[in-house]
Chains A and B, each alone.
Chain A
């Protein structure tokens, strides 16, 4: 026996013979059939992922907007009701503690989705930095499930399940009912594909999951999710973004809204922004089929160490070995050749444009 947390879909995963692994304190499916076939299902039809391990915090009260204004890299006051925004949460040095999506239900109620591994840290960070403000944090991670439905057929699948579902634009969400229970459907995801993330009560999650399967979705695990997010060059906290990375070098400046007097790291980030960056995030493609892994060393053509790989994988969609990493040499750009040391061998690679994969519709 172990002390790992289990999502409300745990039994469903066991019934489907998923391979379960410990992940951020939870026992989660890494794959069902195979990572590659699950990736293909998402790119060509649709896949469903149990992402219930991710944090779900309702932040509500008179000062809810003000509290988030202090913490988030985006301005909560200008988010519209029914809109979600990707953002980062930075520490006093401008390092990224986590990335999250914040949904505005109304001026006095928001839903924040941090990563599973950082949820407790973020909870403390908010409390520590918002003393004397009038608001509550209601953590509903364990009472609710979150299912990501991703792929070109995902809109059709949802329309089959919910009659008269209104059109939901990207990064918007609606609140609706399923079996008389409240459900949130957000047009968001982490695969680079069209798709939705659905939050619903634990007691209806299994039934809803099975309904998605009946409508043609394929069960997918965290393994496929990682490959898909990397093809779309979406940052992963712990890899591309860490407490030692600031949002500017991680190419996330479009998610940083400064000149807000309440924002606790406004001046720190303004300062970093005005200075030259010490490293930059690049995407690369390996010559051949070896796969670069996180922490592999990146060198220039004179064999000087210029950086480190943050993520690497084989991309089934592009049939290439790809990866992300940071380099200090800013003169190197798209099409520049670099060398990556993979298990003591120097392997040639080329800097290429990111995202590696962009959907056509």
Chain B
């Protein structure tokens, strides 16, 4: 049990540090805001702390602003990181209200530990594309083109969601691709294409879309075999349960969904 204690303490310290940092420079958020005059539903106020997957950074920041505008007196505080790290922090007691994961596996880590309320809802899906240099100079049309000799391919490591998805898609295509590198995350795989160090990499459509200035995205049919669900949930120990529920409801609203699909996600 001693090891358990150490793990808890370390992760707790980590989570405290993360939350502490995200609150930096926002002294006003600690003071309760005045109640909103004539809010849409139940009056929602205070801070809503959202732990969200790194791939949601751009869209959720937008959604957070819209949510704050629709609910005066609220303030959304985000902690963006890898889903597995976030799951660990939540299970070690980080004071979060909402968890939005990039993979059901990491969501299961949280719900299995009894830290969720109800069942998680899938709010978007994400799909793999082949990211290639602008103008697709190597003429890549599908996964089978990635087996060409001399072509350099970057994949995510299997331990991270984009790598697991890539493996599924490649297996479904029954091709054998030998990558030159197994990146630690999807941004790493994408940056290798941006810098021209590899000719192609498998990344999420949303990531390719965010980098249209530098890369082109090539869709391929086998990606349908490796669709990534993004589940969201209100956490059991949420300090602001009402705010959390309001935020989740907002993410599931049409307005937020259209913003997410614009960023390259698919509606569930």
| Same complex | no
